[in-house]
Amino acid sequence: MRLFIDANVLFSAAHNPDGNAQALFSLARKGMVKLHCSRFARDEAVRNIALKFPHCREALQVLLDEIEQVPEPQPHLVRSAISAGLPKKDAPILAAAIAAEVDLLVTGDKRHFGPLFGQRVEGVIVLPPADALALVLDRLEDSRAATSTIG
């Protein structure tokens, strides 16, 4: 599965080594998922860590080195994300996830993305970290079960 990671998830993973966000990175290190983000998300995470948890900058950089950066989205996709109900400042996140054709957009932003949680927007399912982790683990389990019944 391909996951687009929002800035707040990067932020959480950098300063909370035991949370759901960090668990997604652990799965990526094992080759079970692929993580992606945009420069927009990356820059926001760097700014917020520097302001709130400057001692976690190195941890954030390690995480950023593990993620594939995707191109910024075309303006028509940003407009589409705004029409889906997102504020202008958050629309580039959904638009980049759509452009990258990921399976999931993982964000902890309940205020702005909450109404989209669990929905598929132009092929991308929007989920908070805990739900994304549960879905990934369920799909991995289903995949293992299918493989064991075949073999």
The answer to whether 109 and 126 have CB atoms below 8 angstroms apart is no
User: Any residues with CB less than 8 A from the CB of 107 and at least 6 apart, and which?
Assistant: 6, 8, 9, 93, 113, 126, 127, 128
4-47 pLDDT, tens digit per residue, is: 999 999 999 999 999 999 999 999 999 999 999 999 999 999 99
Q: How far apart are CA 25 and CA 120, in angstroms?
A: 23
Structure tokens at 89: 């400042």
Q: Residue 151: which pLDDT band, with cuts at 50, 70 and 90?
A: low
Q: How far apart are CA 121 and CA 60, in angstroms?
A: 28
Q: How far apart are CA 110 and CA 135, in angstroms?
A: 18
For the chain, domains (ranges, CATH) are: 2-150 (3.40.50.1010)
Task: Tell whether pTM > 0.85.
Answer: yes
